[in-house]
């Protein structure tokens, strides 16, 4: 019985990998750099995007919003006048807790890839399963909020290990929390010692300029590579 | 293909229901009231338990801690000198994002049910799948932190619909957030209008006495029922 269950899961992951590779091919053909943005619920992914995407210095951005239900996040980005597609994962079985490659593939039909340099895929808020399903991205970013406590890298190690950047958000609240930034760094070093980390506040704007530059440079690398 | 996938999932849920009912029988035989405590990562479930379980007015409490990895949460409760069992869900496939009935069943062997009136099962931090897997509980409680924003009932409706109490934690941070409590209540009313809600701070202790009384009364109901 256990063996059968494992077999089914492996098949599901293989199918996901196949479709993720197809997405990857489409992104490559259009020279689109793709970010898979992951976090726990309420860590501030959408608020970060509202801040960062205001002025991307010529980089053309598109966004895929993943939520179990609703289009609140996509609505919040409407004023930026970017191509935004909302994916809802609630069809059947109470809602999927992550985006998979096929959901992203279905969204691609509604996105003008030829007019996008950087595609940001905001995953469902969850610290477990999104790390297990690649969607064709170049880069994975984890957003951790200081209000969640320092112990999350220990409790959700795969998520913090599977990313290329950790954004620590809501640092404006540090004076009101018993949060030990050194302890967080220590826990993060335990699972992913070399991962770069940026400390920001989507509310006050602290660190946002640096994050924007990081995104702009990421997109430029691809464009420069494609030009060669 | 799609039909096959649905069939597998239905089978998995049926197996879970069967084992949840077996857990339920064991709990009934020992007159144990069982709470399934759910939230997003970092909402403060363990800190709440540290506060509430300090003096339970004669009610004998046991705890099951569910985490993907580690025993940090169980360690934090050690000073309370209660029976605590840690479940790790990380065997295979990068970690399960929820507790299921079989995991809880495996923990029951290590718990002296005959010496427990109230068993609190702290689920994996996740706002999607824990709501889909019953473990034999009487009551489900959702902990929502004000730092997560007001929109979570809209984005994760099943979780807020499947619970009998919503605890809104970290109200000590309200002066430093743009959080609209009325808007949260409005969103919660939209998915579960009659659910009771308690506003607390595990940090300052605000509302904790009321929550403790709620737990004590919950456990007493069962004991009174068993005496008849």
- What is the enclosing helix (H) or strand (E) of A8? helix A2-29
Is the distance from CB of B132 to CB of B103 less than 8 angstroms?
no
| Confidence label for B193 from pLDDT (cuts 50, 70 and 90) | very high
pLDDT at B21: 96
Rounded Cα distance, A42 and B162, in Å: 20
**Using the 8-state DSSP alphabet, how is residue B129 labeled?**
G
Look at B173 and A172 and tell me if their CB atoms are within 8 Å.
no
In the three-class reduction of DSSP (H, G, I as helix; E, B as strand; rest coil), residue B198 is classed as strand
Examine the pLDDT at B95 and tell me if it is beyond 90.
no
| Confidence label for B92 from pLDDT (cuts 50, 70 and 90) | low
CB atoms within 10 A of CB B119: 29
Q: Which residues touch A53 (CB under 8 Å, ≥6 apart)? A: A61, A63, A77, A80, A82, A120
Per-residue model confidence as pLDDT tens digits over A125-163: 999 999 999 999 999 999 999 999 999 999 999 999 999
Tell me the backbone φ, ψ of residue A187, rounded to 5 degrees: -65, -40
Mean pLDDT for chain B? 92
Rounded Cα distance, B146 and A211, in Å: 26
Burial class (CB in 10 A: 0-12, 13-18, 19+), A223: middle
Nearest Cα to Cα of residue B69 among A84, A60, A152: A152
Query: Among B95, B145, B158, whose Cβ lies nearest the Cβ of A128?
Result: B95
Query: Among B125, B151, B152, whose Cβ lies nearest the Cβ of A127?
Result: B125
Rounded Cα distance, B86 and B95, in Å: 15
Percentage, residues of chain B above pLDDT 70 = 90
Rounded Cα distance, A108 and A102, in Å: 10
Rounded Cα distance, A199 and B33, in Å: 43
Domains and their CATH numbers in chain B: 2-227 (3.40.50.300)
**Nearest-CA distance A217 → chain B (Å):** 30
pTM of the entire predicted model:
0.90
**Nearest-CA distance A69 → chain B (Å):** 5
Q: Which of A42, A172, A202 to mutate to test the interface with B (most CBs of B within 10 A)?
A: A42
Rounded Cα distance, A117 and A126, in Å: 27
| Confidence label for A6 from pLDDT (cuts 50, 70 and 90) | low
pLDDT at B6: 60
Examine the pLDDT at A76 and tell me if it is beyond 50.
yes
Per-residue model confidence as pLDDT tens digits over A160-191: 999 999 999 999 999 999 999 999 999 999 99
Rounded Cα distance, A40 and A125, in Å: 5
DSSP string, B98-125: S--HHHHHHHHTTS-GGG-SEEEEE--S
Q: Which residues of B touch A88 (CB under 8 A)?
A: none
Rounded Cα distance, A169 and A144, in Å: 6
Closest residue, chain A, to B65 (C-alpha): A155
pLDDT at B1: 40
């Amino acid at each position: 019985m256990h063996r059968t269950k494992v077999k089914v899961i492996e098949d599901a992951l293989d199918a996901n990998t196949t479709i993720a590779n197809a997405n990857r091919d489409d992104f490559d053909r259009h020279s689109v750099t793709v970010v898979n943005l992951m976090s726990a619920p309420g860590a501030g992914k959408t608020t970060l995007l509202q801040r960062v995407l205001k002025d991307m210095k010529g980089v053309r951005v598109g966004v895929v919003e993943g939520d179990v239900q609703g289009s609140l996040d996509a609505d919040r980005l409407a004023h930026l006048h970017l191509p935004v597609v909302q994916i809802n994962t609630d069809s059947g079985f109470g809602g999927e807790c992550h985006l998979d490659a096929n959901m992203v593939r279905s969204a691609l039909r509604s996105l003008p890839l030829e007019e996008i340099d950087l595609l940001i895929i905001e995953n469902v808020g969850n610290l477990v399963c999104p790390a297990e399903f690649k969607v064709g991205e170049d880069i994975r970013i984890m957003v951790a909020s200081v209000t969640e406590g320092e112990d999350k890298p220990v409790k959700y190690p795969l998520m913090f290990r599977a990313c290329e950047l950790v954004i620590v958000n809501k640092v404006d609240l540090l004076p009101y929390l018993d949060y030990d930034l050194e302890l967080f760094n220590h826990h993060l070093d335990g699972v992913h010692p070399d991962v770069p980390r940026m400390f920001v506040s989507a509310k006050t704007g602290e660190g946002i300029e640096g994050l924007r530059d990081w995104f702009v440079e990421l997109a430029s690398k691809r464009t420069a590579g494609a030009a060669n």
